[in-house]
Structure 1
């Protein structure tokens, strides 16, 4: 892990907050606007991108060019930019563009800073309802309409009492979907469609599990930092910490993580 002193940590935290503030302004300019257009980045399925996605990332990159020109950047919409510091800002300007298009307030802006080991600090920000979840450098807290409060994952309970969330009911490939459905059949409640906000709910102690597949680094690194700082576990379906994405499981505690992994591996 890169050695970062307290002054540098404070600078990274302040930079992340400035990025999130800029992304809030950019995304809210177009949220719930009538006739918002979307292009698709894929030919086989609808993978939308809007003017708001691009504007959000443009504004964050402009701030980094001034405040942190030595750092690398990996963004969903504009790719990778090299740096010299050993740190990389990983940006998802709108995680959940489908939700954004629908007008639901469950999309978010994902911002993290990573070293060679993965994310060391991250934010999940929901601009419309004004909630921001933060994790890393000894911090684990959220701010929102109810003020500032500490984050903390929920205590262990049996899988049969757990709440499980994911974004898409199909969950990746047919095989991955079948494994997820086996897990879903063994929990108390399964809910869909909340994108990155589900990971924030793990960190806030509201739910037990998020299980997804086919994710990218910019999808997972900020949630990983926030969930881990709150006391949770974030791995792939084999139990390995993997900041590159793919198949992921975010769990509130070691016990529910182990129980869910056993089901997924068995499937």
Structure 2
């Protein structure tokens, strides 16, 4: 079900979008208060770091949602999932890029998605330290700080700006893939986390190859990238659902997407 197919649904989705943006502002204010401060850092079983900021921001967002939408489900990075049997679900990554956050690097993000029947209807990518908020609404386009954005029209990989996320993990597990990526594109950059996908949606980047992601890393990206005119799939070319974990590929055009998929499986 798409909640934007009828007038009542359009009103509902606009209200939900306003709430998503309000939550992004709330989370950004909280994150800025913790940034470059004395944080307690611990490590999860998978060796990924977590701080009091991650936990506090997710609690803040969960409480806000629970008060206004008590019948909605929630999936968050820090406190798990409670959405079985729920039509509506919110997906939260309180700090996308905790390693960036704890090292004082300002390109961490806040990710929030609203799903209906398992499909993302709204996605928000917020960069608290840059005061940039990217939003995508299914069927209604994508914006940055309220201004419409769209992907580039680059169709050839040898003319493309290619971002490689999680390059160290790709090197450790699929070195041949990384070797091919290092010879691809006109311009290549190594990066992490959500910002390259936002830059792709805004037309600054043409391809983002990403690795080792969880649903809370992906769901908010989908509406932003696709509503800006791009393509986001897994490395097999399939659209990642709420249960998907693994690598993804964002591309500005179908021609680029096809060429990079072939490169990944050469």
Query: TM-score by structure 1 length?
Result: 0.91
| 1:224 counterpart = 2:222 | yes
- Tell me, yes or no, if the aligned pair for 2:162 and 2:206 is still in contact at 8 Å: yes
Per-residue deviation at 1:184?
2.7
Matches within 5 A, 1:37-76: 37-42=40-45, 45=47, 47-76=48-77
| 1:166 counterpart = 2:164 | yes
Query: In 2, distance between residues paired with 1:122 and 1:157?
Result: 25
Per-residue deviation at 1:31?
0.3
Find the residue that maps to 2:174 and give its secondary structure.
Answer: helix
| 1:215 counterpart = 2:227 | no
- Tell me, yes or no, if the aligned pair for 1:70 and 1:84 is still in contact at 8 Å: no
Per-residue deviation at 1:81?
1.7
- Tell me, yes or no, if the aligned pair for 1:215 and 1:247 is still in contact at 8 Å: yes
- Tell me, yes or no, if the aligned pair for 1:209 and 1:251 is still in contact at 8 Å: yes
Find the residue that maps to 1:29 and give its secondary structure.
Answer: helix
- Tell me, yes or no, if the aligned pair for 1:155 and 1:252 is still in contact at 8 Å: yes
Find the residue that maps to 2:219 and give its secondary structure.
Answer: helix
Matched with 2:253 is 253
Find the residue that maps to 1:219 and give its secondary structure.
Answer: helix
Per-residue deviation at 1:217?
0.3
Identify if the C-alpha distance between structure 1 residues 194 and 82 changes in structure 2 by more than 3 Å, giving closer, same or farther: closer
Matched with 1:86 is 87
- Tell me, yes or no, if the aligned pair for 2:154 and 2:160 is still in contact at 8 Å: no
Matched with 1:127 is 128
Query: In 2, distance between residues paired with 1:176 and 1:67?
Result: 45
Q: Deviations over 1:185-224 (max 9, x none)?
A: 1212221234100110000100111112211000011011
Find the residue that maps to 2:236 and give its secondary structure.
Answer: coil
Unaligned runs of 5+ in 1: none
- Tell me, yes or no, if the aligned pair for 1:71 and 1:83 is still in contact at 8 Å: no
Matched with 1:97 is 98
Q: Count matched residues.
A: 259
Matches within 5 A, 1:8-23: 8-23=12-27
Unaligned runs of 5+ in 2: none
Per-residue deviation at 1:32?
1.3
Query: TM-score by structure 2 length?
Result: 0.91
Q: Which moved more, 1:172-181 or 1:190-199?
A: 172-181
- Tell me, yes or no, if the aligned pair for 1:165 and 1:190 is still in contact at 8 Å: yes
- Tell me, yes or no, if the aligned pair for 1:57 and 1:75 is still in contact at 8 Å: yes
Query: In 1, distance between residues paired with 2:236 and 2:171?
Result: 17
Q: Which moved more, 1:158-167 or 1:222-231?
A: 158-167
- Tell me, yes or no, if the aligned pair for 1:166 and 1:195 is still in contact at 8 Å: no
